[in-house]
Amino acid sequence: MAKIQKINIKSIDEIREVMLETVISSKSDIFRIGEKSRQDYANMRDELNNIKQLMIKLINEEERLEKQVHDARLTLSELSVNFKAYSEAEVREAYEKAHQLQMDLSINWQYKKQLLDKRDDLERRLLGLDETINQADQLISQISVVMNYLLSDLKQMGEEYENAKAKQDLGLKIIEAQEEERKRLSREIHDGPAQMLANVIMRSDLIERVYRERGPEEAFSEINSYKKMVRAALYEVRRIIYDLRPMALDDLGLVPTLRKYLRTIEEYHNHSKIEFTSVGTEERLPTKYEVGLFRIIQESVQNALKHANACSIKVKLEMLKSAIFVSITDNGAGFNAINTKPESFGIIGMRERADLLHGEITIESKIGKGTSVTIRVPLPS
């Protein structure tokens, strides 16, 4: 009997190795597709920008040619009225000039039409590439989850089958949450500081051109706008760092850090009002309690802002000797707590953090009535 079990475990390990090799190979292929699509996207975007610049020149040239054609037609009209007042050479020159201008204008129209067709084609292809890039990123994220699972304690499945299912579910949830958080952070940096810094570089080139073409006064005006853009980029970087790990949590404690964080979030989301109330003594807690409670409140507030579009959020923290009570209420869109879909990773993370602190978390919500989150965490004596 023991021999059969050993063979089964070996077979599982062999299957796991084959699956792992296949997954790694697939991930590499998808990564190459994604990188190739990104390179093609960048090249096409540059080509599209060049076409747009060229079209601006063609439109200006078209306006100039149309004016010259109009003037040439007036000249021909004058020739026809006073034909005898002009020599044969002058008449021939006027007709040839009018004909040449008409030819140049026709060529301009044809070239502009070709560029318009090419521009439309590039824009359609860019949309397709953008979809391919997003799908590649999503697949890589999913494959990373599978790889982490294959590299985990799957070898123990034959020996600990009864506990494997629970560990598998929890492990996958944690890994998926990590991958989603990395993807969110990557996208937030790309859409925020990265884009702003790219605009900063473009703006610096613009300042040089303005200085050369329009003089120092307008260049100074551009510099002031440039400084505002740099400050905005610095604010975004600091906000992302703060979201990752607020340093004030180690230095000041939970309540001052929450107060500062909620005030910062309220300034960033200027359409929402966040009210924070602290009851009891503001004592320092063990690190795991401060970090865990901060993350639960942070996730709840972010959910209210991002998913519920709440314009009013109230956070109350009551610190007693035996326990901490926290309530977060909002007037957002809410959701159906009875017929709800599987919980999001954010709510799963909130519940797991509460469990790690031996606490309880209750979430009540109704569509159109907002959401209320209540947390109770007992404190060590």
* CATH number of the domain encompassing residue 54: 1.10.287.1490
Structure tokens at 347: 């709510």
Instruction: Clarify whether residues 15 and 155 are in a common domain.
Output: yes
172 belongs to a structural domain: no
Instruction: Please say whether the beta carbons of 359 and 373 come within 8 A.
Output: no
Q: Both 32 and 155 in a single domain?
A: yes
For 277-344, the three-class secondary structure string (H helix, E strand, C coil) is: EEEECCCCCCHHHHHHHHHHHHHHHHHHHHCCCCCEEEEEEEECCCEEEEEEEECCCCCCCCCCCCCC
Residues 37, 140, single domain; the answer is yes
Q: Are residues 15 and 147 in the same domain?
A: yes
Cα separation, 178 vs 172, in Å, equals 10
Domain boundary among 218, 244, 270: 244
- Residue 221 structure tokens: 């005006």
Q: Are residues 226 and 364 in the same domain?
A: no
**Separation of alpha carbons 172 and 146, rounded Å:** 8
Domain with 57 in it = 2-159
Domain assignment of residue 276, yes or no: yes
More confidently predicted of 336 and 58? 58
Least confident of 41-55, 113-127, 133-147, 179-193: 179-193
Instruction: State the distance between the two ends of the chain, measured CA to CA, in whole angstroms.
Output: 51
| 147 and 23 fall within a common domain | yes
189 and 332 belong to one structural domain: no
Q: Report the distance separating Cα 51 and Cα 63, nearest Å.
A: 18
pLDDT, one tens digit per residue, over 208-256 is: 777 777 777 777 777 877 777 777 777 777 666 666 666 667 778 889 9
371 CB neighbour count, 10 Å cutoff = 24
At a CB cut-off of 8 Å and minimum separation 6, what does 29 contact? none
For residues 292 and 149, membership in a common domain is answered with no
CA–CA dist 289, 174 (Å, integer) = 20
Within a domain: 299: yes
CA distances from 376 to 10, 27, 329 (A): 47, 43, 15
Q: Six-digit token pair at 100?
A: 């040449």
Residue 221 lies in a domain: yes
Position 164 in a domain:
no
At residue 247, the pLDDT reads 66
For residue 168, being part of any structural domain is answered with no
Domain finish residue from 101, 124, 159: 159
- Report the predicted TM-score, pTM, of the whole model to 2 decimal places: 0.44
Any domain includes 169: no
- 314, 329 in Cβ contact below 8 A? yes
Does residue 165 belong to any structural domain of this protein? no
Domain end, chosen from 102, 124, 159, is at 159
Structural tokens at position 194:
């990265």
Do 205 and 327 belong to one domain? no
The residue with greater pLDDT, 217 or 364, is 364
State residue 227's pLDDT score.
79
Q: Please state the domain count of the chain.
A: 3
Summarize pLDDT for 45-96 with one digit per residue, the tens.
Answer: 888 888 888 888 888 888 888 898 888 888 888 877 777 777 778 878 888 8
Are 10 and 124 within one domain? yes
- Claim to verify: residue 154 and residue 296 sit in the same structural domain: no
pLDDT at residue 179 is higher than 60: yes
Share of the chain above pLDDT 90, in %: 11
127 in the same domain as 19: yes
| CATH assignment at residue 283 | 3.30.565.10
